[in-house]
Structure 1
Amino acid sequence: MPPIDPGVNPGPTFVTRLPERSGPALGTDVEDTLDLRLPDDFLVGLSLAAGAAAVPVPEAGTAGEAGEALAREVAEELPPTYDLLDRVHTWGSMATAAGVFQLVPVRLERDLPLIARWMNDPAVVTFWDLAGPPHVTERHLAEQLAGDGRSVPCLGVLDGSPMSYWEIYRADLDPLARHCPVRPHDTGIHLLIGGVADRGRGLGSVLLRAVADRTLDRRSACARVIAEPDLRNTPCVTAFLTAGFRFSAEVDLPGKRAALMIRDRSLRHLL
C-alpha cells in the first residue's frame, strides 16, 4: 500500500477483506484461534440484510420511540433461528452526544451509489481497497448480503442523515480468526466515516462506543467487541482507544500490520 499522506486525516477507516488462507495466530492476548464451519442447516435463505424491508430513519425528536417500534416490527418478520448476530436490524436507535444514531441495513439498490462514492475518496482508498467502478463495491456488499448472516453491512445514520458505513461481523466465523486470537461470539466492527466534514473531530469515537456497547447489550453471548485497524492509521487507533477499547497486540494480517483493539464486557464501565 502507498504511504499515508501526513497532511490527510482519514478518520476511522479499515481494510476489510481477508483472503482465505491459513496462518498462525499472533498476539499477546493468547487464546485458541477458531476456524469454524457452519452446518448446512444454517445456510437457509439470504442474509437478513438482503431480506429485510427498507428501514425508515426516525426523526431526532422521536427516535427512541420510533427505534423501539421498528425493532418490534422487524423482529416479527425475521426467522428466529438463523441470525448469527442477534438481529442487528432490531437494535434500534442510540442517543449519543453527537445526536441520534442508528444502524440501517444496506440495500444495494438504495445505497450503492453513496457507498461507492465514499470508497473512491483518496483518504479511504488506502485502507479499504475498494476504489473503482461501482461494481467493485457492489461485489463486496453482495458477498455479505448473499451469505449466512455472519457479516451485516449497514449505513450509519446520524440525526436522519447517512454519514458512515459499518460492518458488524462474527469475528470467530471470519477469516480473521486464522490470523489472531478470537473467542466464541467475539463480534467485530469495521467503520468508515463517509463525509470529510465528519472526520477528525471525535465523532468516530462517540459512535464506536455507542455501537460497541449496543452490541454487548444485545448479544448476551458476546464478551468482547474487537477491531483490527491498520497501525499506520493513527487517528483510527486513537478513536478506538477513546471509545473504551484497549490495545491488545500487533497482528500481521494479509495486506497490513494491524492493532488488535478490544472492548471487554467486564471492563466497559471502567474504560
Structure 2
Amino acid sequence: MPPIDESTDAGTARAARAALGSAPGSRAGTGFDPGAGTDCEDTLDLRLSDELIALFAGDTFSRDGTADGTAHRTTAGAVHGARGGSPEETTDADDLLDRVGGWGPARTSAGALHLVPVRAGRDLALVHRWMNDPAVAEFWELAGPEAVVEHHVLRQLDGDGRSVPCIGVLDGTPMSYWEIYRADLDPLARHYPARPHDTGIHLLIGGVADRGRGLGSTLLRAVADHVLDRRPSCARVVAEPDLRNTPSVSAFLSAGFRFSAEVDLPGKRGALMIRDRSLRDLL
C-alpha cells in the first residue's frame, strides 16, 4: 500500500526509508490481531453481505501483497505526457471508486496535484524506474525487470475496479505513484474491522529531491481529504505502512491520520492508520 517522510532530521538510513509511504501489504494471512494500541472505537460486529463474501472468495494473493484482480481502467484528462489514441473513460454506473480519474486537482500548499490513472504504454517505464530505487524497493518489493511492475499494474487495470493505480502530477510534473483502493473489498479487510466504503491509500514519491522535507505529509493530507470530498459514502481513509518504516508512519500522523492498531500481514507487521471524516477538522 508507500514512500514518504515527514522527518527532516533523519539520518541516511531513515532518509532512504522515507522513499516509501505505505507499500501494499494486504496479504493473505491469519485473522485480525489488534496488537498494541488497538482503538476499541474501531471495533464493530461487521456482517458482510453475500456480494462482499463472493468478492472475497474470488481473491488470491501474490508475492507483492495485493489481491489478484484489483482495479478498473480509468483516466483523467491529458494532464501529463502524450497519451496516444483517444482518452479512455470509465462508464460503469457502479464504478467502485467514484471515477478517480475525474476527481480533478487536489489543492495543496505545494501546488495542484492531479491523480492521473496509469496507462501502461505511457507510464510503466517511469513507475519501473521508481520501483528500482533501493529506498522504494525495500518496502514495495517490485524491483527487477519491467515485467514485474507491468504484472503488478496490469492486474489492477484488468480487474474489477477496486484499486486504481495513478501517477501523481504536481503542477504538471509526474512525481509520485498512488494506489487508491477499496479497503473494505480488499483482503486487508480480513485483518481489521472494516467499514463499508473504507478507502485505502498507497503512495511512493519518485524523486529523491522530493523526499525528507515534509512533502509526503502535505500530499497525503490533501489526497485523503480529496477522497472524502469525492466519495461521500466513505467515512474513513486507511493505510497500513510497515511498522519498521518510522518516517512513513510519522508522515501519516502529520497528515491527520491516527494510529489505530498493529496488524499482522503476511510479509510485514503494519501500522493501521486512519483518517476519519468526523475528525478531519481536528487533526
What TM-score do you get using the length of structure 1 for normalisation?
A: 0.83
1:24 is displaced (CA, Å) by 1.4
Q: Is the 8 A contact 2:260 2:274 kept in 1?
A: yes
Deviations 1:199-245 (A, max 9, x none): 00000000101110010011111100000000111111111011100
Q: Residue 194 of structure 2 aligns to which amino acid in structure 1?
A: V
Q: 2:64 is matched with which residue?
A: none
Deviations 1:137-164 (A, max 9, x none): 0000000000010000000000100000
Q: Residue 99 of structure 1 aligns to which amino acid in structure 2?
A: G
> For residues 152 and 220 of structure 1, do their structure 2 counterparts lie closer, same or farther at Cα, with a shift above 3 Å needed?
same
Q: 2:79 is matched with which residue?
A: 57
Q: 2:44 is matched with which residue?
A: 31
**Counterpart-to-counterpart distance in 1, 2:154 and 2:138:** 22
**What runs of 5+ residues in structure 1 fail to find an aligned partner?**
40-45, 59-73
Picking from 212, 236, 241, the partner of 2:253 is 241
1:100 and 2:108 matched: no
**What runs of 5+ residues in structure 2 fail to find an aligned partner?**
1-10, 57-69, 81-86
Q: Residue 83 of structure 1 aligns to which amino acid in structure 2?
A: D
**Counterpart-to-counterpart distance in 1, 2:110 and 2:12:** 28
1:263 is displaced (CA, Å) by 0.3
Greater shift, 156-165 or 80-89, is seen at 80-89
1:14 and 2:29 matched: no
1:5 is displaced (CA, Å) by 7.0
1:265 and 2:277 matched: yes
Q: Is the 8 A contact 1:37 1:173 kept in 2?
A: no
Q: Residue 128 of structure 1 aligns to which amino acid in structure 2?
A: W
1:7 is displaced (CA, Å) by 5.4
What TM-score do you get using the length of structure 2 for normalisation?
A: 0.80
1:81 is displaced (CA, Å) by 1.6
> Sequence identity of aligned pairs in percent?
65
> For residues 247 and 47 of structure 1, do their structure 2 counterparts lie closer, same or farther at Cα, with a shift above 3 Å needed?
closer
Q: 1:90 is matched with which residue?
A: 102
3-state SS of paired residue (1:37): helix
**Counterpart-to-counterpart distance in 2, 1:212 and 1:265:** 9
**Counterpart-to-counterpart distance in 2, 1:78 and 1:147:** 13
> For residues 94 and 18 of structure 1, do their structure 2 counterparts lie closer, same or farther at Cα, with a shift above 3 Å needed?
closer
How many residues are treated as equivalent by the alignment?
243
- Name the Cα RMSD after superposition: 2.3
Q: Is the 8 A contact 2:197 2:233 kept in 1?
A: yes
Q: Residue 271 of structure 2 aligns to which amino acid in structure 1?
A: A
1:174 and 2:191 matched: no
3-state SS of paired residue (1:236): helix
Q: Residue 9 of structure 1 aligns to which amino acid in structure 2?
A: A
**Counterpart-to-counterpart distance in 2, 1:254 and 1:174:** 14
| Aligned 1:191-202 pairs, distance under 5 A | 191-202=203-214
> For residues 116 and 32 of structure 1, do their structure 2 counterparts lie closer, same or farther at Cα, with a shift above 3 Å needed?
farther
Q: 2:231 is matched with which residue?
A: 219
> For residues 9 and 124 of structure 1, do their structure 2 counterparts lie closer, same or farther at Cα, with a shift above 3 Å needed?
same
Q: Residue 13 of structure 1 aligns to which amino acid in structure 2?
A: G
1:18 is displaced (CA, Å) by 3.7
3-state SS of paired residue (2:238): strand
**Counterpart-to-counterpart distance in 1, 2:243 and 2:218:** 20
Q: Is the 8 A contact 1:130 1:137 kept in 2?
A: yes
Picking from 142, 147, 153, the partner of 1:130 is 142
**Counterpart-to-counterpart distance in 2, 1:85 and 1:193:** 22
Q: 2:265 is matched with which residue?
A: 253
**Counterpart-to-counterpart distance in 2, 1:182 and 1:8:** 32
**Counterpart-to-counterpart distance in 1, 2:214 and 2:15:** 15
Greater shift, 179-188 or 150-159, is seen at 179-188
Picking from 125, 129, 148, the partner of 1:117 is 129
Q: 2:67 is matched with which residue?
A: none
Name the one with the larger helix percent: 1
**Counterpart-to-counterpart distance in 1, 2:197 and 2:266:** 23
Q: Is the 8 A contact 1:224 1:265 kept in 2?
A: yes
1:23 is displaced (CA, Å) by 2.6
**Counterpart-to-counterpart distance in 1, 2:22 and 2:279:** 24
